[in-house]
Amino acid sequence: MTQKTAAIIGGGVIGGGWAARFLLMGWDVRVFDPDPEAARKIDEVLNNARRSLPGLSDVALPAEGQLSVHGTMSAAVTGVDWVQESVPERLELKRKVYQTLQEHCPHDAVIGSSTSGFKPSELQGCATRPEQIVVAHPFNPVYLLPLVELVPSDKTAPQIIQRAKEVLTEIGMYPLHVRAEIDAHIADRFLEAVWREALWLIKDGVATTEEIDNAIRYGFGLRWAQMGLFETYRIAGGEAGMRHFIEQFGPCLEWPWTKLMDVPELTDDLIDAVADQSDAQSGMYTIRELERARDNNLVTILRGLKAQDWGAGKLLNAQDRRVEGAIGLPDDLGQPIVTVERAVPLDWTDYNGHMNEARYLQAFGDATDRMMALVGCDAAYIATGGSYFTAETHIRHLDEVHAGAVIRIETQVLNGAGKKMHVFHRMYEGTRELATGEHMLIHVSLETRRACEPAPALAATLAKVAAAHAALPMPEGAGKAVGVKG
């Protein structure tokens, strides 16, 4: 297969993102930017992309391409398949760049512009071959967000449009073909409207920047992230759908809710167009199916934010801490200790409709973490340089569990002497046993990453629990190997 090459003209935030996207999708990348710091800046963006982009894929990405930085545009674009212009938003500068590019790049290469505002016909004004130029407007970070607004003019060659769609799809992006030239394309027009309204709210003393951001990230921003605008409002219309939503809320457009009062009249033709397009978009689903899809998506997004302790996820973590209360050993150590009690979330299920086997390990891992905290190996202790590492795990899957089920994990300490912590977990739904997890952990120094004795207070607490649990029957399955019944 012939190696493909992209030239990136302008190595700023957007240009660097394009370079990373192409490079990590197997393309060779040539960069031109007169900034003497361009190579360093590109490398820093690339490091972020290497850290994050591969995690979006469940298969191996292509072998990374070769990156080179060039001192002239001519050297960067000679013989390339794609040229992405990301220079500052000055029309005269962009037109000058295109004249130089087209002197040296292949006639059949796609020349895409990252412009967020200029129309392609404006960019093509002084071009030698206007048919070669198209707007390819991405969103930051380019290496993660898939949307590219692909905007041709009536002079753009059909084969260039088709080739651009193929390349953008090949590198994992979504080319949104904007069929009519319009200032700021599609997405930035929405952003500009929200931005203007936000500025008015601040100017009028109604809200602060943080309050406005919270209104977005705790509310409609989450809905938009997974269903957009019209599908979200279709659900709001209930079983009667989009037409009912417009009939119910359409008059609000004429109310003085916003500074942006130039709104279209809701004629029968406009209502029909919106309703018909909404039917074509989502009419194959019932409202209940759309609601379930929405809920699944929101749970996945919110739990992802929770894992990062950011935005709405930070709120959820704070709520968990309020509900959980203080962590402490139970008064009665003569019974296994309940270390997990929770509902199985929607995103823990697999294609068979029950909990994914990896989530059993996660639940048992959470139980182990709780047991560690109960005996004194909490965040404060770990900050002093000691912790437990899991050395061996054995899980038995005994019964199915589905989303929404409330699971309970009871933990028995089998050994708590010296450097070892040997625990046995049982997972239940009510009285039904679902699985067991046996884990051997070793106390280590986080400085040397080698086994060491735990601090005396921790060792004493763990030994106390182990001694109390020694009077309990040995759990069925403890110490058994895979396939050996016990």
Please give the annotated binding residues for NAD(+), written as ranges. Answer: 10-15
Check: CB of residue 374 under 8 Å from CB of residue 343: no
Q: Which residues of 292-329 are buried (b: 16+ CB within 10 A; e: fewer)?
A: ebbebbbeebbeebbeeeebbbebeeeeeeeeeeeeee
Q: Return the DSSP state at 58.
A: S
| Ranges assigned E (strand) in 94-230 | 110-113, 133-137, 147-151, 174-177
Alpha helices in 325-478 (DSSP H): 357-374, 379-383, 456-469
**First and final C-alpha spacing in the chain:** 55
- The tokens for 11 are 């190595």
Dihedral pair phi/psi, residue 448, rounded to 5°: -95, -20
- The tokens for 112 are 């895409």
Q: Which residues of 144-159 are buried (b: 16+ CB within 10 A; e: fewer)?
A: bebbbbbbbbeebbee
Q: Which of 346, 269, 332, 261 shows the shortest CA–CA distance to 302? A: 346
Dihedral pair phi/psi, residue 134, rounded to 5°: -145, 150
Q: Which of 136, 215, 128 shows the shortest CA–CA distance to 173? A: 136
Segment (H or E) for 246: helix 241-249
Q: How many CB atoms lie within 10 A of CB 58?
A: 5
Segment (H or E) for 375: none
Check: CB of residue 173 under 8 Å from CB of residue 146: yes
- The tokens for 451 are 């086994």
Phi-psi region at 254: left, alpha or beta (left = phi > 0; alpha = psi -120 to 50): alpha
The contacts of residue 35 (CB under 8 Å, 6+ apart) are 11, 41
